[in-house]
Structure 1
Amino acid sequence: MKELQEIVTAYHQHQKNGLKTALATVVHVEGSSYRRPGARMLVSEEGHLTGAISGGCLEGDALRKARLAMVQGTPSLVKYDTMDDDDSKLGVGLGCNGIIHILIEPIDPQDPNNPMFFLQHLVSQRRSGVLVTLFSLENRRGHQPGTCLFLTEDGVQMGSAPSVELNSKMLQHAQEALEQGASSFQTFPAEHELTGFIEYLPPSISLVVCGAGNDVMPLVHMAQILGWHTSVVDGRANYATPERFPSAQKVLISKPDQVLEQVQIDHRTAFLLMTHNYNYDLAMLRNLLTLHPPYIGVLGPKKKLERLLDELQETGTPLTEEQRKILYGPTGLDLGAETSEEIALSVLAEIKAVFSNRMGGYLRERQQSIHSGSVQDKPAALLS
């Protein structure tokens, strides 16, 4: 989500400067690649690049093709094949052993349904959304409809397909993506068969840190680099200050019983208890367990968490098995962390792993594709 935010910010600046722009999107991948479908890069006519569609090997050639698309005013689909000797001669040299399809769309600021308008709405609201992008793998040099439909979880719909029948099918798949929380590819019959990239886009992770000690400062800074929305809460007025946490979206001075009414909580919200105050953490934990957020991390040794749970049990708040599953204490991955910065890295890595439904192990020991589970690599009709 941070990359999309930066792309939207850059687009506004280019508009202010009167510059033409084009959006390059990875829409389809066969085999391995550095970036997966949904990776985007905004290109200005002066050659300014925001975002990335590869590890740096595609950007130069994509810039040239994006400038051509700006002049022609029509979307184009570009194919890069790492197994093609011609690509090596061009200096692309991907080294990923895959085929990458990039859709390049010139942006018409007068068109209210251009892809940047959809992205602006997405980043301005903390809501899950789905973008539907149509392209033809069968006829790469033909007409490419491009990004044409946007739907949010609260029912906001923008754009439409080239036909009523196609629009109905696209809308159905978009609603399914919202319900399942997953992207997919679909095929649609047309003169030249169209592939639809049904892209599910959740909001960024919202991190609520209870505690404003010095050890929280590097954690909030790292979360900001990741593009997460961060709130810092503490009962001590001399600790919970915007000056100490300039990268936090919210800094609150609050008692435990008043915290939850001051922060927005959804399916992408994680809580960290880092106050170093046992009674504050106990009160927060009691309140949080009734809400069942996806992640509650408790800083400190395992004995501390056991004591907290024992006291909750004794005071009439027994934990269910489901509630125990969302508790992480000691919080963080086993990285051998010692310093505040290392602990921050460990904790944020664990939160990312939990929200990605991963175990956080070594990639070299992973038997499946690194990106498996995020989106199918091929349209359903092409999987045979």
Structure 2
Amino acid sequence: MKEIIDIVAAYDEAHALGKKTALATVVLVEGSAYRRAGARMLITEDGQLTGAISGGCLEGDALRKARLVILQQQPLLVTYDTTDDDDAKLGVGLGCNGIIHILIEPITSDINNPISLLKNIVSNGQHVVLATVFSIKDRKAAQPGTCLCLTEDKLTISHSEHLPYQVALVSDAERVLEEQRSEIRFYQADTEYTAFVEHIKPVISLVIVGAGNDAIPLTRIAAVLGWNITVIDGRPNYAVKQRFPFAQNIVTAKPAEVLSHIKIGDRTAMVMMTHNYNYEIALLKELLPTSLPYIGILGPKKKLERMLAEVEHAGISISEAQMNNIYGPVGLDLGAEGAEEIALSIMSEIKAVLSARQGYSLKYKPAPIHISNLQYLVK
């Protein structure tokens, strides 16, 4: 999501300066590649790049082709075959073993151009589906490109004319939104079209309860990742913008007031680091009935055990599902010392939990790094 946010911001800046732009999207990967389908890069006519479609080896060639796309104002599907031992002739050395299909689209004045659809995603804050349609079989055919955006409450289609497979495409997008799993679909019209029907998760919302000095590096790392940051504390002299310039929201609140200041979703993580035992146990009682997927509690294990015992003594039962969402001591075991390293440990654990990963070294992973969640279905 951060890449999309950066691309939208870069486009607005380029548009204000009168620069023409193109959007390059990895739409299909066969085999291994540095970036997966859904990776994007904005290219301006003067060569500024935002985002990435590879580890740096494709960008130069993509820039040259993007300038042609901007000049001709026609989308272009480009394929890089790194399974060919002679791929050096492309001027790239990917070190991968896959075939990468990249669609480069000019950004026109169309009200629903690809950047406008990306803006829908940024502003929505929910799970979204974006469909990009292209033809590998006939590269000279029209390349519809990024043409559909489906949110929970709105459908936007970029082309005014009715696509011959539009009903099927909308139906597939609705299913992807429901199942939250991207798909590759195939449609037969005047030629065979391939659609990358992409599920895009909302940005992670990080709620930090505690505005002490050790919370500051946590907000800095979260800002680099593009997360939405809320800082909450009961002390008004601590919860101030000067101390947390990267936070979108800064709130002074008592434990009973915290939930009224946040919106809980399946991408919301809360970390308690107030160093105030009474504040945190009062807040924990408020949080247990919620569906927060991650509640991190800073401090030793004995502290958490004491808190849980007091909660149960107060007559509040804690289910197994609720216990599974509580992480204390908070963070991955990185050998962290000091506020910055502890912040790294906490952020790593949040990312692993919300991605349903274990957080161990990739060295010991028997499967490929990126296990594709794409379904390949024929219509």
Query: Which TM-score tier does this pair reach, normalised by the shorter chain?
Result: over 0.9
Confirm whether residue 363 of structure 1 aligns to residue 332 of structure 2: no
Q: In the alignment, which residue of structure 2 is the partner of 1:380?
A: 377
- Quote how far apart the aligned CAs of 1:161 are: 8.4
- Given that 2:79 and 2:99 are in contact with CA atoms closer than 8 Å, whether structure 1 keeps it comes out as yes
- Quote how far apart the aligned CAs of 1:245 are: 0.4
- Quote how far apart the aligned CAs of 1:380 are: 3.3
SS in 2 for 1:215: helix
Identity of aligned residues (%): 54
Q: In the alignment, which residue of structure 1 is the partner of 2:166?
A: 167
- Quote how far apart the aligned CAs of 1:190 are: 2.1
- Given that 2:256 and 2:283 are in contact with CA atoms closer than 8 Å, whether structure 1 keeps it comes out as yes
Confirm whether residue 241 of structure 1 aligns to residue 269 of structure 2: no
- Quote how far apart the aligned CAs of 1:191 are: 2.6
SS in 1 for 2:196: strand
- Given that 2:187 and 2:378 are in contact with CA atoms closer than 8 Å, whether structure 1 keeps it comes out as no
- Quote how far apart the aligned CAs of 1:315 are: 0.3
* Normalised TM-score (structure 1): 0.95
Q: In the alignment, which residue of structure 1 is the partner of 2:93?
A: 93
Confirm whether residue 331 of structure 1 aligns to residue 330 of structure 2: yes
- Quote how far apart the aligned CAs of 1:277 are: 0.7
Equivalent residue runs for 1:168-317 within 5 Å: 168-317=167-316
SS in 2 for 1:187: strand
Q: Which amino acid aligns with 1:334?
A: D
Residue 19 to residue 208, structure 1, CA distance change in 2 (3 Å): same
Confirm whether residue 23 of structure 1 aligns to residue 23 of structure 2: yes
Residue 318 to residue 160, structure 1, CA distance change in 2 (3 Å): farther
Q: In the alignment, which residue of structure 2 is the partner of 1:143?
A: 142
- Quote how far apart the aligned CAs of 1:85 are: 4.5
- Quote how far apart the aligned CAs of 1:143 are: 2.4
- Given that 1:77 and 1:141 are in contact with CA atoms closer than 8 Å, whether structure 2 keeps it comes out as no
Please give the alpha-carbon distance, in whole angstroms, between the structure 2 residues aligned to 1:163 and 1:156.
Answer: 14
What root-mean-square deviation, in Å, do the aligned CA atoms of Structure 1 and Structure 2 show? 1.5
Q: Which amino acid aligns with 1:117?
A: S
Q: Which amino acid aligns with 1:149?
A: L
Please give the alpha-carbon distance, in whole angstroms, between the structure 1 residues aligned to 2:257 and 2:88.
Answer: 60
- Given that 2:126 and 2:152 are in contact with CA atoms closer than 8 Å, whether structure 1 keeps it comes out as yes
- Quote how far apart the aligned CAs of 1:222 are: 0.3
| Per-residue deviation, residues 325-350 of structure 1 (Å, max 9, x unmatched) | 11111111111111111111111111
SS in 1 for 2:312: helix
* Structure 2 alignment gaps of length 5 or more: none
- Given that 1:127 and 1:154 are in contact with CA atoms closer than 8 Å, whether structure 2 keeps it comes out as no
- Given that 2:124 and 2:151 are in contact with CA atoms closer than 8 Å, whether structure 1 keeps it comes out as no
Q: In the alignment, which residue of structure 1 is the partner of 2:10?
A: 10
Which moves more between the two structures, 304-313 or 84-93? 84-93
Please give the alpha-carbon distance, in whole angstroms, between the structure 2 residues aligned to 1:349 and 1:246.
Answer: 22
Aligned pair count?
Answer: 379
Please give the alpha-carbon distance, in whole angstroms, between the structure 2 residues aligned to 1:62 and 1:160.
Answer: 25
Q: In the alignment, which residue of structure 2 is the partner of 1:78?
A: 78
- Quote how far apart the aligned CAs of 1:83 are: 2.4
* Normalised TM-score (structure 2): 0.97
Please give the alpha-carbon distance, in whole angstroms, between the structure 2 residues aligned to 1:133 and 1:161.
Answer: 16
* Structure 1 alignment gaps of length 5 or more: none
